[in-house]
Structure 1
């Protein structure tokens, strides 16, 4: 665990002088938040409602859509009901200087999606940052793939944004891939990911695959995570990235797992269809969302999430998703 630099000391109730608008939590005994923008489409509050209602608690998660991160943090540190907060774009990196400590996953990824509390040795509340996205990716595979056929073999991530960083850590450090190929439309984004890992002495085994020729020459991946929105390739970079992915999809043998992180507005994406037609086992991104949310709930409540509760919550969320896509 590493102490974050420039931790912000925030006077109680100073949030009233900021542009952040206090959410309505009057119907809840305790609550967590999700801060970011835009987030109105997020299914995270529904997930957390399902978790806490299953525990028999009048707890929940409330959206805090704002551009004023500092104002939100001031409010968070003054709210007696708060259990912590989820953090999404564009604040996953910007939030780090506001925290007292980072757990290993947050430090390794360089991005935070969860804030939770711990009392320090002096009795004061410490604000801890971590990244449960990595656990969501890990659990999506562990709960849907028999054995570990990807261990010791190459993994692949499509995309170069914030999610890519979490996926790299999950594939290499949690699932045991020998190396991680990165395929992305923008070389500069991949360079930034590799540079960030290099700054922490952890860039070994990260390989930017920039052409179909390279894809043909490399050992095919045994596991893939798609971490890009569902769109039809238009630019030259997008077209090449899709061609590289298709090349990898059609190499190798047997049913290998692909996690399609995109599930909004629909889990039926172009990449999931390409993977299925090439014989891959497609795992929906809702699995990763459930896994990371359960990890957050455990941190916020101090309760262990057993397999029975996980299965119960997963059924509820998948039923809700199915009903939503029928409308």
Structure 2
């Protein structure tokens, strides 16, 4: 997830390629329903089947829709944002999609999400076991990043409140807090609010605080111009601990690379076009966090992509 234009599809596609080359059976899913373009980042210029069929046709078989890519072990479930209403998914259909993706016949499902904090985006973000948020160092992007973390956490906690069947005035105050309708005298941070709730229902407050502490997010700083950028965005992690009762936020850095735009224009995955660039190396390192033997896996991935790059160069010549 993350703000529009910060490189979510670049990170998602590179992660999917890396995991597939490491031997995992991977499905890449384009869940940017109103602006689907993940297929282009994977080198697929045209889709014959898309996720839209499942979302708009009753009884459609989801597993008949993935498209094979040029990478062994990697399938793509792409989308078509040009269809009117493609971003407006009925709740029941969304939940049906989430249930199916949770039992997908793949080792890993990598989902590329749209921008914003609408319920569809939040629910797709929360269904994942690993939450990765892409940003850059622009103030607006950092503000959006913190906003997504906060609203996703509140959406998650609201689900627990519903499951615990909290009722009465306490339920109303919880709803008002999560949805931004709280009165001015209500504590503004989740940490302070849960301390107030604890005076009425210690079990509920402790449960919600534990859930907040277990909510993990990896913040990826894309197009980073300085090795000091992770320190510059550390404020987000500090706020997450202080205001949201989270344990902290991991950060990773993808250095700025002018050649990424050329790769996109050529419809060639950047890790294929420039596998030895600093940006590609950093993208490979992200993959290493999801495999049991990172060193061996990264060596395999790099060797495979360098070989593919040579083949691409011969074809271009």
Q: TM-score, normalised by structure 1?
A: 0.30
**Which structure features the higher share of strand residues?**
1
Higher relative contact order at CA 8 Å, sep ≥6: structure 1 or structure 2? 2
